[in-house]
Structures are given as C-alpha cells and as structure tokens.
Structure 1
Amino acid sequence: MLKNLKKYFDLKLIGILSLVYLVFVIIYSGKNAYLRYSMKRKTDWGEFVFGNVLDWCLITAFMIFIAITTKYLMHKKTKLVYIVSIHFFFSFFIGVFTVGLSWIIENLFTSMGKDQRSLTDVFYGFVRLIDLHFLIYLSLVTIIYMYYYFQKIQESKIQTIKLQDQLSKSHLKFLQSQMHPHFLFNTLNGIHALMDINIEKSKSMVVDLSDLLRNVLDKKDENLIELQEELEILKKYIHIKKTRFSDQLNIHLNIEAGLENILVPNMLIQPIVENSTKHGYGSEFISLEIIIDIYKKKEKLFVKIQNNGKALKEKLPALLKKGTGLNNIKERLDTLYGTNYKLNIYNESDKVITKISIPIKLSISEVEKDF
C-alpha cells in the first residue's frame, strides 16, 4: 500500500505548497501582531507564535493529503464533475480539520490551568475563518494543478524532442542510404569506362573500391564521424580517382593541425570531390586540379574545395535541383545543424569553389581526454 501511495507523493510539490503557505502565515501573523500591538491588546505572544506555527503545520499536512488525492484523481482520469465536487467538499472541510484539530492540541498542551474554549467557540472560529480557508484552499489547489500542468507540458516537450530526434535520425539514415548507391554507381561507371583502356588499372580500382566500401559500411549507421575517419575514406576515394585519371587529376589536401577529432557529417567531402571531377572536365579542361582546405575559425570548421575546371553556369538553388549528391549534402546539413551552417558554391578567379562551415563539435573520446 505504501508503495502505491509513494507514486502519488511529489516531494517538490509539497515543498512549494509549504513554502507558499509559510509566506502567507508570515504575512498574516505579522499583520495581526501589528494590529494587536497598535491597539494595545493584551496578548500572550508565546501562544500567538505557537498558534501560527501549529496552523502552518496542520494546513501543510492537509495539503499533502490533497496533493496525493489530486494526483490519484488525475491518474484515474476521474470525471470533472467528481473532481470539482471533491474539491468543493474539502474546501470547507479544511476549516473543520484546522480549527478542530487546533482546539484539541491547544486543550492538550497549552491550556493547563486556563479556561478551555467551548465547542461553540470552535464553531464560531470555523465560521469566522470559513471564507479565508476557502481562499487558501483554492489558492493551493490552483498551485497543485498549475504544477502538474507545467510538468505535463515539460514532459510533452521532451517527448516531442525525442520524437523529432528519432525522425531526424530516420531521415539521415534514408539520406545516407541514398548517398551510398549514388557513390557506388558512379565509381562502377568509372571502372567500366576504364576497362577497355587499361584492364590492370580497372582491376586495381575494383580492389580499392572493395577496401573503400568496407570503410563506408563500417560507418553506415553513424551520422557524424571524426574528421580523421572522413579523411581516411576520402583518401581511398582519391586513390581510385587518381588511378582512373592518372596525370590528368591532381588533388591537394591542406588540413590544419589539431582538427582530427572534430565531428563532421559522414561522407561530406567525397560527393563534392566527385562533382568536381564529374563537372570540371571539358574540352578545354582536360587536366584538373582540386585543392581541399580544412581549417578552424571562430569556433567553426571550414571545408573549402576548389577546382580549376569548367565554371558554373547556375547558382546554388538551381544546382540543388539537378544532382543527388549536392542536394543530399544540404538536406543532411539541414537536419544536423538547422540554420547553424553555411553552404555555398560560386565562381572566383577562374576557379569553382564549394565552401561549407559547420559548428565545431568534438567526439566523446576527445572530450574525455581533455578531462
């Protein structure tokens, strides 16, 4: 029974109710003390303080019972008419409970040798304070319902955040599953194109692709990976590209030191390098140079990829509608960072530049190492 009762007992709520009523008792007793002193009424100050402390204890005890009862009624999904009727009854019973129990305790402990109050006096005290007790009860019950209301809102927000997180993860998994076949098909097309020209290089590319796929599949369920892992995948992809295009492709990596443990979206850079080779070559651009710069600036990680191939004829919004890879990157960045990132593609000094900035987030291993 005590175990069942415990789930309806909220210590934090009891603390709030007792504190609120303590403030009321201090204000109410302070007012009465001032009136008694200013009117020079004869007062037993010890009994006066004891009476106020006793009142606070009794009301707090009663409100513990009401808080438990309210939680029970809410848990059982009691009809509104019954809840209102129960609270209406207790709003009057609180006066009976407080005045009656005060009278009993006063008679037992504080009235030895003094005239004891009669039941008529007790009834008069109940009637005199009936409106005050009603307002006290109404105020404290309002606090109880406000407490549970805000608690429910908070739980609802947490549940919504969890649901959004699950949806985001599902969306990211879908985007990653979309990215992997896209990357695989493009690489296989490259191998097929090379087979009639150089069978040995084609075989080497198949081996490299197998090795690369192993790395990609190991990380397939991770939305964010360390930069050093992303670069490991990228380097294997670059080796495949270099095997196909030989001296017609030069790729340079410039990585600022100390960024290895920063988390980045899985396969962020590879699709951009792939687009550079896919769209950079042309009749006037038979040799391609790609420069990849990764650096940190003002708590942001910057990835800048530039190539000296064909210039862009369209801006980013139009490009996003055309290719799977670029649009996939943007959707993943949207899901992971909301508006806290930048993605831009533009022409500058006979180069095509793709620039991405994301907030810096360290992996757990690096955070633990710092401590």
Structure 2
Amino acid sequence: MNFNYFLPVNLIFGTGKINLLGKETSRCGKKALVVTGRSSTKKTGLLDKALELLKVEGVEAIVFDKVDQNPLTTTAQAGAYMAVEAGCDVVVGIGGGSIMDAAKAIAFIAKNPGDISEYIFGRKIGVEALPIVLVPTTAGTGSEGNNFAVLTNPENGDKKSLRTNAIYAKASIIDPQLMVTMPKQTIAAVGFDALTHSMEGYVSKASQPITDMQAIYAMKLLAENLKKVYDEPSDLEAFEKVTLASTLGGMVIGVAGVAGAHALEHPVSGLKDVVHGKGLAALMPEIIQRSYYYAPTKYAVISKILGGTDEKDCSKVVRKFLEAINLSVTLGEMGVTHEDVDWMAENCMKVSLVSVKNNPKEFTFDEIKEIYHACI
C-alpha cells in the first residue's frame, strides 16, 4: 500500500470563528485584496464585518467584487491587475466556491505573468502565489481545503482547473454560522456538489485509505443532514455537519480527484453558465448507472449510506435523494439541446480527460455523447 497525503492548510472550523479573520490575515500581509461576489456578502453585512475585522488588526483592504457564479479567466486577470497595482500582499476570498476559486487564481496570476490558460493546461509552470485566506459562505465546493481553482475561458468555453500547490490557502476560516443565509435552492445545489465530491473521490481510481475514510464520513453527514438544513436553514447543528462534510469533500478531491460527473459537467456550465450543482444533479444518476459494475463494492457502500441496498440500486437512491431536496433536473431544463452534444463531448475530452480516466468506467467519446443525450 503506497500513497501520499499533502494538505498544508490551517483549517479553522467552528461557529464564531469568522472573528479570527483579521488576526489570521495579518499573519500573511498588511494590504489585502478582498475578493467577493456582487451582492450576497453585502446584503448579509458580512463584507462590512470582514473589513472591520481586518482594520482592527491593521490590515488595509481593497474590495474586488466582480466574480460571477462560474468565474472567468478574464475576471481573475482583472483582479490580479488590481492587486498588483494596489501593492496588495495577501488575498482574502469571502464567498462560495466561485469566489474562493477566483481568489486563488488572482493570487496566482499576481505572481505569474502571461495567460492563465497556459498554466491551466500545463504549458507553463508557476510555483508561487500571494498568500491566501479563505472564508466559505456556502457549504458545497470545499475549495477552502484543496489546491484547485476552476475557471472558464469566455473566448472558447473551456472550463478547467488550475491545479498547483501554490494556491493552497494559508488559512481557511470555516464558520457554519455564515451558511445559514443561503437560499434553499443554493443549499440543495451546493450540498449535492459536496456529496458528489465525496462520491466521486471515493470511487476514483486515485482514491486511497485516508480519502476513503474522509469520503465515507462526509457522505454519512450529508445523508443525515442535508435534507434537514434544506427544510430548516436555521438548524445550526445540522449546518455544522453539512459544512464539515463540504470541507472534507474538498480535501478528498484535492487528493483523489473528481470523476465522471464533474468531467461531463464542466463543458455544460462552460457552455451554458448553469449552476454547477444542478448540472451534476442532471448527470450523476446516469453516470452511476453506467459505472457501478466497475466498482461494485464501493457503489454498494454509497447506496447503503443513502438508504439503498446494494450497488444495483445506487442510481435509484441518488435520484430519490435529489427528489427530497427538489433537485431533480435535466440538462434540457437548463437550456442544453441535442445540437450541443457534439461540442460538449469534444470539449469534455479536451478539458476533462484526466477526470474521465479517473472514473471507474472510462467512458469513450461515443459513450459520453450517449450520456449527454440521455440526460437532456
């Protein structure tokens, strides 16, 4: 048995831990680019609180609030330009997965010249970034616990991860209290994203004992608590468990990688700018149905965690789980047409080939097209 496990992130977890933001950031720098979204952290008052916490610790802050739900390479470039021009020496990301991914990318671009796509596709290598502090406000992506930054190139629709140890956060402050303001539809979408991370990391060909343990525990937490927080978002005890599961899922895929559903979803949201968790919901049951034969023991574990019997009904129980949180969707409902399939399949093989190969069943180009057509 041979494996490596590397996670140089200070994970600071618990209700009220947001109050450590200024202290933790001041360890990294004295002038912060605060990366956030266009509205949610402003509406909740979190952005103002964060700026005050930074100020108290002597950290000057400049706000970059241009990030959308599927962050663009051009947006990250603009943020990096602002950081460099202002002389920022630390990047703080406050928001959901898109915000955290953008913050990581901005910190990287600020230290690595040229087109970010060159680094994403491995044609150039960067080994440093500005120090990063992350504060997730959605319980789903787990970006606070890995070295991924998923970006979409607006020129060609490529949605692919920048992956480098340079963008591990110095500290991630994970405060479940910040999650309770999420709308119900967001809870469902990001929660299923978290579940998908652990399911895919568990069955991944790159899985290993530590990621298996994390994935199993995370799946159990979500099976028992995601419906609770969907029904009653004020249930802080359940939110703590969902939030922990999200962070664990991010740690899992940081080592074991993602697999079929993420491989096929990235072209969908790259093309149509759909909500990532909804895209996964449309694809995952079909992918499980075509994959369970190739890892029956692990799919049986997943099925039983979600209330099923064995690997053969895993797809069925996932569909039932999605119904319980009103996330039963199709690609067609998100604007995908059968005419889009050829482009998406070609793009999948271009941007997601590693994840395709990571799936228990390595789908061929024609099989990927069949899956897309079936999910429309």
Q: TM-score, normalised by structure 1?
A: 0.23
Higher relative contact order (CA 8 A, sep 6+): 2
**Larger Cα-atom Rg:** 1
Instruction: From the two aligned structures, give the one with the greater helix fraction.
Output: 1
